[in-house]
Amino acid sequence: MSKQLVVRGLFTLLLAILVSACTTTPTKGPNDPWETQNRKFYNFNDSLDRKFFTPVAKGYVAITPKPVRAGVTNVFENVGYLNVIANDLLQGKLATFASDCGRFIVNSSIGLGGLFDPATSLGMPAHEEDFGQTLGKWGAGEGRYLVLPLMGPSSFRDLPDIATAMALNPLTYLNAVVTVPLGILNLINVRANLLEATNIRDQAALDPYTFVREAYRQMREYKIYDGNPPSESIDDYLDDADDEEASSHPEVRGSATAAATAAATAAAAAAPAAAAAAPAAAPAAAAAPAATAAPAAPATPAAEPAVLKVY
């Protein structure tokens, strides 16, 4: 089966999901009716990560200098940036669209295919847009929460981005002899960038599943509103997390609120394959909101560069 047929099939799936998402109204609760199955997939992903991805990532960090890892991250960000540009336009962000077009051109040329990032110093910073955010801008509700095998947290609204990101990634159309090794490299690099986030999740969460779910939902809301979500929206997510933590551990009610900033970072580490699945959707750590009673503000980015994805 050719890659063109695969992409065509994914777009058919995208349209079906889009119709479902656009008829789904937002909910205040976690909207997780498939929690039993989701937890099974979460445990599968977590086990695979601990036994395979994490050891490989630690070995990669040990033998690869940080500047080299940063260059790898930059290249894959640049390759996937067409997805960001397309969603800038779909959301009507014309100034951002122009800036991101300039960024892609500058980094692809002067930056040697994205290895370096001269565009940022020239006033063209990176942005994070994807089709899930676009659907949110258009008014689609988040739909049911999902945990995908090997891919991690998602929702009905975010599923179509898998197809659009693949279709807009130039590497999709190259021979598998090229794309498979590059995909493996990106996956390992992404996981290496998220080692610290995983540690935060493990230290902060009484129930890692709930922790990651609420972190993911909060992070997506934060991105849809460009860093300024309604304060009541953040409060709803924090209440959901606190209630579920307290149901099992009443003596520590509120711990999810205290650790929500770390949770939003850790959501990116829930499944490294998800971070390597579609361009420019993985830098959750850099864009995660600080969760307090006050309106959310950007959290301190992780020490590693933003992580990106490739097919």
Does residue 260 contact residue 215 with C-beta atoms inside 8 Å?
yes
pLDDT in the model for residue 287: 34
What span, in angstroms and rounded, lies between the C-alpha atoms of 95 and 72? Answer: 28
Residue 108 burial (C-beta neighbours within 10 Å; 0-12, 13-18, 19+): middle
Amino acid identity, position 7:
V
pLDDT of residue 200: 82
Confidence (pLDDT) at 255: 39
Give 10-residue mean pLDDT values along the chain (311 residues): 46 45 50 97 97 97 97 97 98 98 98 97 97 97 96 96 95 93 96 90 84 94 92 59 50 38 49 53 36 35 36 32
Structural tokens at position 142:
């988040």
Neighbours of 65 (CB within 10 A): 9
- What is the DSSP code (8-state) at residue 307? P
Q: Which amino acid is at 16?
A: A
Q: Which two tokens stand for residue 36?
A: 């039993």
Q: Rounded to an integer, what is the distance from CA 122 to the centroid of its chain? A: 26
